[in-house]
Structure 1
Amino acid sequence: MKGTKDGLTLHLDDTCSYEDLMTELDEKLTLSVNDDSDGPLVSVHLKTGNRYLTPEQEEEVRGLVRGKKNLVVGSIESNVMTKEEVLEWKRKNEIVSVAKIVRSGQVLHVDGDLLLIGDVNPGGTVIAGGNIFILGALRGIAHAGCYGNKEAIIAASIMKPMQLRISDVMNRAPDHKTEERNEMECAYIDDTDHIVVDRLQLLTHLRPNLTRLERRL
């Protein structure tokens, strides 16, 4: 048990039985309760470690805490994810590869990262919850980080977009673009909350977490 400015944080034993856990939790909370019923409410944050609590068990835990004077459950955190949560995380983090040309009027939308092998023609739109990588020409609209991820990037072999958008930041065709370059470029949000287009090689320093493969020496 640890007291902080945000209330009490309890790290619960994840190796004992659920019944023993409830008994121990009851004892610890009883010792920490303020007898002054008019005192301020204290938020209790429970960390269950590698123990999974069913919705019914969570409600029992909340009821136990609420039964103590001046205590209220602030949060219950677990290291365990349900199958549904894992599938949702996978859906939003996987790289979806598509080989096609996105033509005018077409919209290609994925929840995770998008790897498009082909062009985005003027009037075509690609949208991704994560990053957008285009092995081809981007001449239409690209919207990365559509769920609010400002760390997302847009990369293309030929960067000639009608519009770029990352999270809620929008930028029309970059002003400095006068001709196509022979190198891949990337767009990202800089420290001033503006979209910048620059050489792809800069991503190693700008977004070091972009590489998900761990290297071992």
Structure 2
Amino acid sequence: MKAQKQYYVTIKGTKDGLTLYLDDSCSFKDLERELDILLSKRQYVQEDSPLIGVILKVGNRYLTEQQEERIKTLIRKKRNLFVQSIESNVMTKEEAKRWKQETEIVSIAKIVRSGQVIKINGDLLLIGDVNPGGTVIATGNIFVMGSLKGNAHAGFEGNREAVIAASIMAPLQLRISNVLSRPQEEKHHQHVSGSMECAYIDDDAIVIERLQQLSHLRPNLTRFEGE
């Protein structure tokens, strides 16, 4: 009985273009060869058709920059095709390190005094106070288990979904992403004794609410919650 041929490339058409699923266990040479043959078929390449975007899904295969360029070049030669994106389950050490820094929670126990600045990647959990003139900055969220009487800047690389929470919310200045607020200038804002509060962006302005509202405001913020 003749063995069935193993196919290394699966092509699916979508309303936005083509999605190519590339086998992650074969050699790169075999992958290139089959990709070239498949994309040479007339149903994928037509001289008068508009440009078609191609999404490559490479699974658990890591492509070097040179291999990526070879595949892109091969696809570009097929007249009306271009690579829109390459999606892989594998990341480099540098990418993994950057992802870890951006998503981890950094815990610090100290009082941030006037003139001091704490700046971290990821979420900041500060166990202590931020005194007037002190500043805390994070790419993610900021949680202060104490008094926030200085400056806080969450999402400083552009994350508008970031929040700032504190046991006592009485800051000189709050900033989330590029939105700035000076709560001491806001009318009638007073901290409710015994109630933690959180600040977030709503309609291009920073709003302060009781912390209990956070689960409704940011339902994806579940990092602290166990299964």
Q: Counterparts of 1:1-217 in structure 2 under 5 Å?
A: 1-31=11-41, 32-36=43-47, 39-173=49-183, 174-178=186-190, 181-190=193-202, 192-212=203-223, 215-216=226-227
Following superposition, the deviation at residue 76 of structure 1 comes to 1.2
CA distance, structure 2, for counterparts of residue 199 and residue 15 of structure 1: 52
Compare 71-80 and 138-147 and name the one that shifted more.
71-80
CA distance, structure 1, for counterparts of residue 79 and residue 144 of structure 2: 58
The one-letter code matched in structure 1 to 2:168 is: I
SS of equivalent residue, structure 1 residue 175: coil
CA distance, structure 2, for counterparts of residue 6 and residue 93 of structure 1: 32
Decide whether the 8 Å contact of 2:17 with 2:52 is kept in 1: yes
Q: Residue by residue, what CA displacement relative to the aligned partner does 1:32-82 show, whole Å, maximum 9, x if unpaired?
A: 44342x543322221111211111211111121122222222211111111
Compare 88-97 and 199-208 and name the one that shifted more.
199-208
TM-score of the pair, normalised by structure 2: 0.87
CA distance, structure 1, for counterparts of residue 167 and residue 46 of structure 2: 68
Following superposition, the deviation at residue 11 of structure 1 comes to 1.5
TM-score of the pair, normalised by structure 1: 0.90
Sort the Cα spacing of 1:182 and 1:61 in 2 relative to 1 into closer, same or farther, 3 A.
same
CA distance, structure 1, for counterparts of residue 65 and residue 87 of structure 2: 13
Decide whether the 8 Å contact of 1:159 with 1:180 is kept in 2: no
The one-letter code matched in structure 2 to 1:69 is: R
CA distance, structure 2, for counterparts of residue 170 and residue 87 of structure 1: 30
Sort the Cα spacing of 1:40 and 1:124 in 2 relative to 1 into closer, same or farther, 3 A.
same
Decide whether the 8 Å contact of 1:9 with 1:47 is kept in 2: yes
The one-letter code matched in structure 2 to 1:54 is: T
Compare 101-110 and 40-49 and name the one that shifted more.
40-49
SS of equivalent residue, structure 2 residue 158: coil
- How many pairs are equivalent? 214
The one-letter code matched in structure 1 to 2:92 is: T
The one-letter code matched in structure 2 to 1:21 is: L
The one-letter code matched in structure 1 to 2:199 is: A
Gapped runs of 5+ residues in structure 2? Answer: 1-10
The one-letter code matched in structure 2 to 1:20 is: D
Alignment identity in percent? 64
Gapped runs of 5+ residues in structure 1? Answer: none
CA distance, structure 2, for counterparts of residue 78 and residue 15 of structure 1: 13
